[in-house]
Amino acid sequence: MNNETLIKNLRNVPDFPIPGIQFKDVSTLYKNPCCMAIMVEELYELYKDKGITKVVGIESRGFIIGAALAVKLGAGFVMCRKPGKLPADTISESYIKEYGEDTIEIHSDAIEPTDIVLLHDDLLATGGSMKAAHKLVKKFNPQRVYINFIVELIGEGLNGRAVFDKDVEVTTLLQI
């Protein structure tokens, strides 16, 4: 898709959070009303006919567009969070990051087997965090799971898409 307005407004912050990382700062998309409308509209067009019943957003940048899209799709919204943040019973999945391990959690009553789920986050780098979220959501045995990101990093030897099984449909709005 690579909408020009989105590309123009996505801020690059060199050497954040550590030297050598080119941080793609989606806050400059989120603060711009025109970019917000473009992102929600493009995603709505991609998913309006898929029968999505739950959008699952990954903490925390996946909550913003995830929730807006859920409203437009007439779907519910579910938070996938860092450990200890969700108040009721949870199930969790751990994964290896560049430095050490991380865990994500979801409420154990968040998804039903009848649901068609769209998993959403702001950015695909290695794919490690979304892979863990995908594993977590699949434990609920939903009808189908789709995956979406706003930005996909394709430079610097990254191929985050490769971590997902071939039968999982992954979409991204910007490839950079």
Residues labelled catalytic = 61, 98
- The SS3 call for residue 111 is coil
Q: What angle do CA 87, 91, 97 make, to 5 degrees?
A: 105
10 vs 18: CA distance, rounded Å? 19
Amino acid of residue 39:
M
Cα-Cα-Cα-Cα torsion 145, 146, 148, 153, nearest 10 degrees, comes to 90
Window contacting ligand AMP (CB under 6 A); options: 19-27, 41-49, 66-74, 103-111: 19-27
Which CB atom, from 53 or from 137, has the smaller least distance to ligand AMP? 137
Considering only residues 32 through 71, tell me which ones interact with ligand AMP, judged by CB under 6 A: 61
Which CB atom, from 53 or from 86, has the smaller least distance to ligand AMP? 86
Q: How many CA atoms lie within 13 A of 96 on its CB side?
A: 2
- For ligand AMP, which residue of 5, 8, 11, 21 counts as binding (CB under 6 A)? 21
Which CB atom, from 124 or from 174, has the smaller least distance to ligand AMP? 124
- For ligand AMP, which residue of 28, 103, 126, 171 counts as binding (CB under 6 A)? 126
Interaction site with ligand AMP (CB under 6 A)? 21-24, 61, 121-129, 153, 160
